[in-house]
Structure 1
Amino acid sequence: MKEAARRRWRVTFAVALWVVLCLLVVVDTTSGPDHRTLELVYGLASVTVAVATARRWPAVSFAVTVATSPVVSLGWTAKVAVWEFFLMVVLGYLAGLRMPRVRAAAVICSVTALAGIPPAVFLPEGFDAWGTMLGVLAFAGVAPFLLGRYVRLRKELAQAGWRRAEEMESRYRLVARETRLRERARIASDMHDSLGHELSLIAVRAAALEVAAGLGDEQRGAAGQLRSGAAQATERLREIIGVLREDAAPVEPVQGDVAELVDRARASGIGIEARLETLADAPPMVARAVYRVAQEGLTNAAKHAPGAAVTVTVTSSAETTEVLVCNAAPPAGPLPGRSGRQGLIGLRERVRLVGGTLRAAPADGGFEVVARLPHAAAPAPEPGDDEVVGQAARERALARRDVRRSLVQAIVVPLVLFGVILGATGVGFLVQWSESELPDSAYARIEPGQPREAFAALLPSRQRSSLPLINEPPRPRGTTCEYYGTERSWLNLNKAAHRLCFAGDRLVTKDSYSEDEP
């Protein structure tokens, strides 16, 4: 019921988001004197694809969203569309919430930024458009993505804290139950000591009656039955209490062979490379521990890394035996869900009882279980509560570090990108300023009425994109004008330009104007 309600809410949110963004596209592209039909179609298509893939394929949604920045900025003369800005902010934030890794987002943004370089080189106002694109990409795409990632990590930290609290509560209940069972066993042991003593006394007295003088055969027979029954009751009581005692001899498990275990695992489809040495010098407890380590390692590999190659190595000497079970990274990636780790906990206890050490941790994309088992060693001390608390503290510290790092990234990365964009834009501006300068001496040699071929060698390779905002002379009708820079420094805030207007291939007029003087 809750899942159905959650699904309805997700669908409703996606539809509402799609409607709002589509309305922004329509309003932004149809308002004003010019109706931008191509931008309208592109915007509606981008919104539809980005919203439709936002939940299941967030990387695709983020790529489609980020791609609107170069298309709009370079395709429509360095403009920033309202719909593009809101689309990148909303979908970038959602991508940060849903994408588990930053690498894909970094690749998408890098490819988008690099893809804008060729148009920036060849378009007349390409560098201005590229700078606009980078600014929109940094503040409307990267910053919301990092903010969404920070929110996701904080949520995961909170959920991990609640899971840890639930685990600790469950562990406390188990400890309380174990304490009660131990107390019951202790009471039963006390009952055995007292009741067994009384039964033994009854048996002794019955034996005395059995040989006492003055009793008939019938009474002696009854005394013998009483003695036999008391002895049997004492033996049965000893057997029952022996099961409850913690120091009672455990039931011996069936001894398994590691080679047979590997053969059975191979028969089930696991690819195993095994190097097994004989365990002739190993004590029975060590041999059983080796079998359990191999069994648990193969079980974990089959459960959490299906299809991965597995290596099982057993080496034994006169003093120690070592066993290694290592699996490579699963071909389809790690399976979802958390491991219960109950098998490893039991395995760690078994290794501890023979005085050995166990290490179970990720290695080279996979997982490995390594046990070192001495042949003659006392059991290692039991792990205390400090080790459990220390593990929880380490996990909490790692989670908090990731959250702090994501917060720093959400603040620092946009600022660094802003600095990089500002520097790149400044370099591009200076290059464009230098390559679009028409010296005054060359400008003086150009005369109206000349064909373009007569002075084409004097013209710069690029036109000036940063032009005076005022004092431009009226443009002759039916002409196409080109704008070049003067020798005025770029530090002068009053911009100036040389304007050449052509009718076909012939120069009609030439004008010089600036913001401080017509």
Structure 2
Amino acid sequence: MQWGLSIAVVVVGALTIRPMGFAGQGLAVTVLYVLNSAALLARALPEHRVPPRTALVWLALGIVAAAALIGAGDSGTSYLFAYFLAGHIGYRLDTGRALTLAAACSLLCAGVLYFHLGPGDPELPWVLGLATGVPVVVGILNRTQRRAVRSALSAAESAERAARAEARTAVLTERARIARDVHDVLAHSLAGINMQLELADALLDTGDLAKVREATTKAHGLVKESLKQAQWTVHALREDALPLVESLTAMTESAGHHDALTVTGTVREPTSQVTQGLLRIAQEALTNAARHAPGGRVAVELAFTAESITLRVRNRPATRAVTPGGGSGMGLIGMRERVALLGGSVVAGPVTEGPDQGGWQVEAVIPG
């Protein structure tokens, strides 16, 4: 559109401005017409390719050439160059410089007509020259609108980048959650099954089939437990709501600890995230108790208060031989990560006093 308007003014000027020629006044008008056309067509140059100082010089010389053309031509639309250049001054320069240069354009063009500096068009009133600087206001408004659009686009781009970063963070968080769930199911279950199968393999050499059968039975039980845990994991990954107390009761009983759960306070259903976190922590603690303290009594306590929910899992020392083979070390890390995401705290360590002295305790406190 800018190119179209500029070319239209140049064409109209070529058809109306007189005299034009190659000698005397005609040569002066022709040269001034060419200079004005060049100054006007330069409006299409991108802003980043024209330094502000260069733009100031170019537009200042342009209004001088426009005023000179008004004074040199006997007739025509030479004043259009001044109008369009004044408008572009408001668009290209900052407000202070634009207003100053536009005022200079008005005074210069009005002075040429008022004092008849040059042959000029006698029918053009000096007020017309004074009005040549008015389009600067339109240019300033266009520049303000352009900046507002750029700011909006920049804000939209920033928001898009922030949304992409947030989405990436959410993906990484979800990956970490899935990794913890996979660890809880596979690492624990497969480690227990592997220990029982290794025990059965070692017992085959002794010929004690009763103990071999006992080991394979335990392995079979661990497979069933693994299937239950896999179901819990699927629920968690799908973010299905699980009843906390019922699920925790089923978990402790499936681990072989009947009537081990004690619930205090006013029972309520927390959010699915809190429920999943507490169940995973309980699962980790029960698995560690079975691995490191086989035969030891386990007590699970779930305490509800107005501000938080506390899960406490305590086991007594082992009463049977502990099968060699440690965990991966990811269990406690997973606990801390889960609780941190829920804004709570977790403490794990040995029991140093009381009837459970020598055992181990895990306590997680989660707001909600």
TM-score, normalised via structure 1 length: 0.31
TM-score, normalised via structure 2 length: 0.42
Instruction: Please state which structure has a larger fraction of its residues in helix.
Output: 2
